[in-house]
A and B are shown apart, each in its own frame.
Chain A
Amino acid sequence: QQPVQSPQAVILREGEDAVINCSSSKALYSVHWYRQKHGEAPVFLMILLKGGEQKGHDKISASFNEKKQQSSLYLTASQLSYSGTYFCGTENTGNQFYFGTGTSLTVIP
């Protein structure tokens, strides 16, 4: 029931774009995205709800395809500060919440 994230790792140069995908086998009510820097706690980035509402970060966007039970996180014009591990968390219609295994993002100068 843990969502699957892809890719597992990505390396970017500053200014490049990245897409991180999250896929679930269950019907979803919401998708959450968190970022964790090395040695620190995860920090909330955004949430997307079934029906299209979303609340999140001003420099990061995401989409939620309810029919495909998938979400994608879009990081545009990446900055060094974007480096970290990104986790999606999915809440299914049975109110069960699971985090994905994470995507490691490294931005280099």
Chain B
Amino acid sequence: NAGVTQTPKFQVLKTGQSMTLQCAQDMNHNSMYWYRQDPGMGLRLIYYSASEGTTDKGEVPNGYNVSRLNKREFSLRLESAAPSQTSVYFCASSEPLKGWTGAYEQYFGPGTRLTVT
């Protein structure tokens, strides 16, 4: 199993350009997430999808859109990139822990390092 994969690994954009970050998981998980990680800020949730066909805003959704294309894939789109969106972006998926109610483990992809100039 590849787990959670993300493309691209690195990207440089100019202000105003658009791009889509791709994420796929092969673990048959229902829930998927997009986070951004900035120095000193930890991981902040941008959007999440509890199941195919549903998406919800997280803590910092402004400037982003998402698509849950199918159970495997969850993409993040920046319509008009801004320097404030320079960050490392992580995709994650999760499954409930067997035999536990309300407990789950998140599996993270390797991240995309995005720089907006």
Q: Which residues of A pack against B, CB within 8 Å?
A: 1-2, 29-30, 32, 34, 40-44, 47, 49, 53, 55, 87, 97-102
Known: A40-B110, A43-B108, A47-B97. A97 touches B103 (CB 8 A): no
B-chain residues with CB within 8 Å of residue A102 when the two chains form the complex:
42
B1 to chain A, nearest CB (A): 15
Report B64 CB to chain A, min CB distance, Å.
Answer: 18
A1 / chain B contacts, CB cutoff of 8 Å = 59
Write 23 A-B pairs (CB below 8 A) sorted by A numbering: A2-B44, A29-B102, A30-B102, A30-B103, A34-B106, A40-B110, A41-B110, A42-B106, A44-B105, A44-B107, A47-B105, A49-B100, A53-B100, A53-B103, A55-B103, A87-B43, A97-B45, A98-B59, A99-B43, A99-B45, A101-B40, A101-B42, A102-B42
Using known A-B contacts A49-B100, A53-B100, A55-B97, determine if residue A101 contacts B41 with beta carbons closer than 8 Å.
yes
Closest Cβ–Cβ distance, residue A23 to chain B (whole Å): 14
Besides A34-B106, A87-B42, 6 other A-B contacts (C-beta < 8 A): A30-B103, A41-B109, A42-B43, A49-B103, A98-B59, A99-B44
Main secondary structure on A side of the interface with B: strand
Indicate which residue in A44, A55, A101 contacts B106 across the interface (CB closer than 8 Å): A44
Determine the chain B residues whose CB is within 8 A of the CB of A29 once the complex forms: 102
Among residues of A, the one whose C-beta sits closest to the C-beta of B99 is A55
- Distance between B15 CB and nearest chain A CB, rounded to angstroms: 26
B90 contacts partner chain A, Cβ-Cβ < 8 Å: yes
8 Å CB interface, B78-117 against A: 90, 97, 100, 102-111
Chain B's nearest CB lies how many Å from the CB of A22?
11
- Which A residues are CB-close (under 8 A) to B43? 42, 87, 99
